[in-house]
Amino acid sequence: MKNRYDFVYLFDVKDGNPNGDPDAGNLPRLDAETGQGLVTDVCIKRKIRNFVGITKGETSPFEIYIKEKAVLNNQHEKAYTALEVKLEGKNKPPKKAEDAENIKQWMCKNFFDIRTFGAVMTTGVNAGQVRGPLQFTFGRSIDPIISSEHSITRCAVTTEKEAEKQQGDNRTMGRKFTVPYGLYRMYGFINANLAEKTTFDSNGEDLDLVWAALANMFDHDRAAARGLMSPQALIVFKHESQLGNAPAHKLFERVTITRNETEGDFQPPRSFSDYTINIDETDLPSGITIERKI
């Protein structure tokens, strides 16, 4: 890669839970001080992995390393077998530094998410560590969110004993949490120097796959609990050089989001049309171009 990229990603949720916190009864994650909603970077990476897996069929060079029921050491052993390198024992890297580097590169070339996000591959069968070129911040809602709690019932029970206890009434109770509406802002960074080390986009497809995933991944990740989640904007700052031509935080300041409010008639936001996105494209630093992917 010859260019660094920094980008602003906006997505929203309506009547759903975008990223429940298992340590808090699956309540929507939030900043306790401001009330703003949060979505973790891990949540978004999972959706990208799923999209790429569906699109490419999880075949080399687009296999997915972190996926449901994957046995990571088995994935590492594939590299040792392919390169005919001897296993030295638990957590021990190959004796030759050249073999260790070749194993790491084999993992990068065959697994999309390793060369994209990086991975710690020292879990028993040692395949090294990779620092990925693509990283995300947490997503943070523009306005504070209100978590709505709903009672739900199930007209069935799981055991005969429960059925006898209910005496004909088989309903069981549960809880569900939703956010009426939230617009979330997340930042992303693609480091061209790290991309060169992991072979990210050396095939000419990885970067386009990332943009496609951010634009389409919610359509392949539907669940009743998540309500309606949609991508709303992907604003990319492309640097002419690998090292970059301007600080990322200064570029991000050019993207502002304002509420559309009618004087004397305040209403809580309930759709993306309640906001206006402004991009300041005047006096851009030399070597910076702005691209709208969504």
Instruction: Give the tens place of pLDDT for each residue, 157-170.
Output: 777 777 777 665 66
Instruction: Check: CB of residue 287 under 8 Å from CB of residue 3.
Output: no
Residue 170 lies in a domain: no
- Confidence at residue 159, expressed as pLDDT on a 0 to 100 scale: 78
For strands 139-144 and 36-39, give the pairing.
Answer: antiparallel
What number of other Cβ atoms are within 10 A of residue 20's Cβ? 16
Residue 42 lies in a domain: yes
- Confidence at residue 287, expressed as pLDDT on a 0 to 100 scale: 96
Residue 164 lies in a domain: no
Residue 167 lies in a domain: no
Residue 183 lies in a domain: yes
Residue 159 lies in a domain: no
Instruction: Check: CB of residue 285 under 8 Å from CB of residue 245.
Output: yes
Sequential DSSP letters for 223-275: -GGG-EEEEEEEEEEEESSSS-SS-HHHHHTTEEEEE--BTTB-----SGGGE
Residue 287 lies in a domain: yes
Residue 165 lies in a domain: no
The domain tally of the chain equals 1
Residues of the chain with pLDDT under 70: 166-172, 263-264
- Confidence at residue 160, expressed as pLDDT on a 0 to 100 scale: 79
- Confidence at residue 132, expressed as pLDDT on a 0 to 100 scale: 97
- Confidence at residue 66, expressed as pLDDT on a 0 to 100 scale: 95
Q: The domain containing residue 240 runs over which residues?
A: 5-153+176-292
Question: What's the CA gap between 102 and 96, in Å, rounded?
Answer: 10
Instruction: Check: CB of residue 199 under 8 Å from CB of residue 150.
Output: no
